[in-house]
């Protein structure tokens, strides 16, 4: 009897503890969320961090609040080399990692509005580039490429922009990255086109078009996209992809945009494209 009574007391006390913990989480969540809405990041910090520590899956918006809080506090600290700034930055990266960890759980809980882990990794990379005391371009590129390869046409515009920008910085530092830079442009441009085609809201479609235009401008102004380089890159690739109309269209468009209409790669891509789909544009290249 005594054992049964003890078990009952322990179960009851455990339930009470859980209830109090849940109550604390709800209270801290409300306090921090209201403070964030008021722009009071200092007072929002402690309760928000407590929620992420004790009940990280309580509400998805807690992660967005935490990002705003930490970025807001970092912006108030002008010394990126200070211990306090570095602490806040490390916490920001941890918030991103924690969010990515729990995204599958949130996806089951909510039907819409939850990004994929690949997309969330891109957001982390963007914050890393903007707020790291001394960002490592190779690390940022690795995250951005993994994100873009995974999210494809669902990639955020900012992620596509930074992806190509970092790739351009890498090729300027090491010409061995040239081939990869060209491929990165092809991929980023295609995913931007896919996003534009899928978007139904005109305002967002215009914003995506601006991002696509910026990608094109970055490629043209990179300093490595001359006709000789394009021939060296696209010559073999055109042969490898002579039955891939999507690749051929992109190759023809890039070579035409860069005024490399006299290149053998341009002629071959146009010819193969005409054989697949004899359009007027392809006929011009053949002619």
Give the pLDDT confidence of 156-193 residue by residue, as tens digits: 999 999 999 999 999 999 989 988 998 899 899 889 99
Q: How confident is the model at residue 256 (pLDDT cuts 50, 70, 90)?
A: confident
In a domain, 274, yes or no: no
Closest CA to 45 of 7, 8, 73: 73
In a domain, 183, yes or no: no
In a domain, 132, yes or no: no
Residue 134: its pLDDT value, please?
A: 95
**Range of the structural domain that residue 40 is part of:** 1-83
Q: Evaluate if residue 16 carries a pLDDT over 50.
A: no
In a domain, 287, yes or no: no
In a domain, 22, yes or no: yes
Domain total for the chain?
A: 1
Q: Evaluate if residue 6 carries a pLDDT over 70.
A: no
In a domain, 10, yes or no: yes
Give the pLDDT confidence of 31-77 residue by residue, as tens digits: 999 999 999 999 999 999 999 999 999 999 999 999 999 999 999 99
In a domain, 18, yes or no: yes
Residue for token digits 């669902």? 154
Give the pLDDT confidence of 228-253 residue by residue, as tens digits: 878 887 888 899 888 988 888 888 88
Give the pLDDT confidence of 79-91 residue by residue, as tens digits: 999 999 999 999 9
In a domain, 30, yes or no: yes
Residue 3: its pLDDT value, please?
A: 57
Retrieve residue 78's tokens. Answer: 């002008």
Label residues 149-175 b or e (16+ Cβ within 10 Å = b): eebbebbbbebbbbbbbbbbbbbeeee
Give the pLDDT confidence of 89-137 residue by residue, as tens digits: 999 999 999 999 999 999 999 988 999 999 999 999 999 999 999 999 9
């Amino acid at each position: 009897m005594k054992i049964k009574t003890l078990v009952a007391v322990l179960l009851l006390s455990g339930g009470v503890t859980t209830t109090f913990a849940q109550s604390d989480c709800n209270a801290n969540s409300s306090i921090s969320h209201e403070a964030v809405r008021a722009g009071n990041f200092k007072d929002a910090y402690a309760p928000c961090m407590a929620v992420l520590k004790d009940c990280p899956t309580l509400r998805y918006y807690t992660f967005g609040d935490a990002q705003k809080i930490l970025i807001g506090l970092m912006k108030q600290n002008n010394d990126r080399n200070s211990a306090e700034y570095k602490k806040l930055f490390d916490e920001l990266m941890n918030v991103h990692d924690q969010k990515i960890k729990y995204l599958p759980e949130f996806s089951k809980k909510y039907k819409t509005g939850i990004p994929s882990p690949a997309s969330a990794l891109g957001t982390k990379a963007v914050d890393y580039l903007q707020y790291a005391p001394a960002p490592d371009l190779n690390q940022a590129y690795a995250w951005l490429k993994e994100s873009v390869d995974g999210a494809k046409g669902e990639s955020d515009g900012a992620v596509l922009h930074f992806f190509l920008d970092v790739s351009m910085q890498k090729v300027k530092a090491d010409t061995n990255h040239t081939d990869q830079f060209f491929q990165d442009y092809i991929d980023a441009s295609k995913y931007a086109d896919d996003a534009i085609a899928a978007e139904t809201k005109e305002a967002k479609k215009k914003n995506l078009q601006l991002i696509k235009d910026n990608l094109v401008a970055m490629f043209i102004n990179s300093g490595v996209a001359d006709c000789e380089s394009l021939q060296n890159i696209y010559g073999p690739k055109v042969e490898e992809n002579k039955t891939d109309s999507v690749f051929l269209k992109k190759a023809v468009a890039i070579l035409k945009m860069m005024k490399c209409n006299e290149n053998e790669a341009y002629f071959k891509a146009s010819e193969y494209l005409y054989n697949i789909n004899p359009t007027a544009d392809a006929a011009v290249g053949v002619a």
